[in-house]
Amino acid sequence: MNYWGVISSTIGGIFGFQGGYYEGASDARWARGFNAQRSRRADEEILQDLPALRDRSNDIYRNNALGRGVINTDRTNVIGRGMRLNADIDREYLKKILGMSDDGIDDYADEWEQNTERRWKIFTESEEFDVERRLNFYEATDLAYLTHLRYGDSFAVIIDHPRVGSDFNLRVRLINPVLCGNPMGRINTRLQRDGIRLNENDEPVSYYFRNYDYTYTEIPAHDVNGRKQVLHMLDPEFIGQSRGLPLITSVMRKIFKTDEYSEYELDAASVMGAFTAFITSASGEVPKSPIVSNRQSTNTPANRIEDDFALAPGAILGLRPDEKVEFANPTRPNTAYAEFYRAQIREIGMATGIPYEILA
């Protein structure tokens, strides 16, 4: 029984408020299958379950073909070849503040756009973009988005790090989201939520990241000039949400069970694909297996006679009068399997926002 609903209805009745106008809120028999929990603040609902969701999402990505396909399809269609800069300066605004002629503004703007795109290309196509000198801008973007899909969010720290021979001091370090957490296992509080310290307006003030020696480093959200120092990538689904949810959160069970069903069908087809013949005998005497005799074949006359029972193309087997040959009747592949699998992909595509034609 929904005790909370009964209490709410009783209180509502006392103060003149009545329910029962929405069928979705009824206590009818059909509604008893709901496992609905009482709604709470976003972080109260999410943060306790988030470690298990991350672990299962990662396991599905590693070992589940369907789940990996869902994540990589989203990644490929969103990131593609990566972002390209197409500089387009506001010529009218420039003409107003610089007081130049139309021809002069066009020449100035064209030159500025070309130089900006050139410098952007140098910056993004070099591994100097990465503080670890492993990724360029496009590779880092792809990895950051993949991490966001698998874990629910991802982090990047902006670093001012001059290097000899480099025209730029700006560097980026990607950080695994599981390293963002409360120091020393502290519990979540009003202003400290899973590695994010907030102010009274719920604005992130700083982030705590775990080091290799299990100490924690606090990095301010903004530098002394007010520029962002930590980039936190997530798609919030609730008001007041601090950390993100993996892409496949709502369809984890469906993906897992569908892949499991696919494995069962594969195993069944593999077993039934082994074409088997049975020799039945009215006398009850069990003949020796030709397969075993072939594997243990010797030059003795007895074993050469047993070899005659082996199945071979166009072979004619001689049987005793009380023996006959029967063959197993394979029932695989299951004709309903393909349509059932497609139906599951459609539902998974609806939940993740990926059209069936793209996902399949």
State yes or no: cis peptide before 236, omega within 30 of 0: no
* 324-to-213, 251, 278, 317, 319 alpha-carbon distances in Å: 73, 52, 8, 10, 7
Give the Cα separation of 262 and 342 in Å (integer).
Answer: 12
pLDDT along the chain (360 residues), means of 10: 58 63 81 80 92 96 94 93 89 84 86 94 92 94 96 96 89 96 91 95 96 94 94 94 95 93 85 67 61 49 49 63 68 80 93 90
pLDDT of res. 309:
53
Give the Cα separation of 133 and 131 in Å (integer).
Answer: 5
Return the ∠ at Cα 164 (arms to 163 and 166), rounded to 5°. 70
* 271-to-259, 261, 265 alpha-carbon distances in Å: 18, 15, 10
Closest CA to 291 of 275, 267, 271: 275
For the whole model, what pTM was predicted?
0.79
C-beta contacts of 202-210 below 8 A and 24+ residues apart: 202/240, 204/230, 204/232, 207/155, 207/180, 207/232, 208/180, 208/181, 208/182, 208/183, 209/155, 209/175, 209/179, 209/180, 210/179, 210/180, 210/181
For helices 102-124 and 137-151, the axis angle rounded to 10 degrees is 70
How many Cα neighbours within 13 Å face the side chain of 229? 16
For helices 137-151 and 50-63, the axis angle rounded to 10 degrees is 120
Give the Cα separation of 263 and 249 in Å (integer).
Answer: 22
- Residue 169's Cα: distance from chain center in Å? 34
C-beta separation of 70 from 352 below 8 A:
yes
For 330, other C-beta atoms within 10 Å of its C-beta total: 14
| Residue-level length of the chain | 360
Q: How far apart are the first and last CA of the chain?
A: 42
